[in-house]
């Protein structure tokens, strides 16, 4: 069993206090929102990679096609909800990271013994590879 550390949440200082001395000034506008949640709640982070099986070669699906990754991820989760505890317990960044409120470790340790449903699109087989 791995030892997990709980990070302490702190309020970030105002970034406008930090100014560089070199280069040209650039104003940056970002999309963000502050998350408020119970500090006793744990959030688990997993890396998810998808590969396509092509004539005995494994090819990673490009992370530039976010729509394809999103479709494959949620189709995979729907087909294997017993492992993930349903769609409402997950946040996926449309690239590689998945965050859950509930640990999937006990379920994911069984992945080597169980054959999960694989998706077939246009004759190509897509297999998930989950690292924790």
How much is the average pLDDT of 40-55?
Answer: 73
pLDDT in tens, 72-121: 888 888 877 777 777 788 888 888 788 887 776 555 444 433 334 444 45
Q: Would 111 be classed as within a structural domain?
A: yes
Instruction: Note whether 75 and 127 are within 8 A (CB).
Output: no
This prediction's pTM: 0.51
Total domains, the chain: 1
How much is the average pLDDT of 14-29?
Answer: 73
Q: Would 32 be classed as within a structural domain?
A: no
The residues near 76 (Cβ < 8 Å, ≥ 6 apart) are 116, 117, 119, 128
Q: Would 5 be classed as within a structural domain?
A: no
Q: Would 57 be classed as within a structural domain?
A: yes
3-state DSSP assignment of residue 115: coil
Rg of the chain's alpha carbons, rounded to an integer? 19
Parent domain of 69: 44-131
């Amino acid at each position: 069993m791995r030892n997990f550390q709980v990070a302490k949440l702190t309020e970030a200082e105002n970034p406008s206090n930090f100014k560089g001395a070199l280069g040209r000034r650039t104003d940056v506008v970002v999309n963000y929102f502050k998350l408020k949640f119970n500090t006793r709640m744990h959030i688990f982070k997993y890396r998810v990679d998808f590969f396509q099986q092509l004539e005995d070669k494994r090819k990673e699906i490009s992370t530039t096609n976010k729509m394809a990754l999103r479709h494959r991820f949620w189709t995979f989760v729907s087909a294997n909800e017993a492992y993930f505890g349903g769609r409402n317990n997950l946040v996926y960044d449309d690239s590689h990271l998945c965050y859950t409120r509930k640990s999937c470790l006990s379920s994911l340790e069984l992945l080597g013994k169980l054959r999960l449903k694989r998706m077939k699109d246009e004759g190509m087989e897509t297999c998930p590879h989950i690292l924790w």
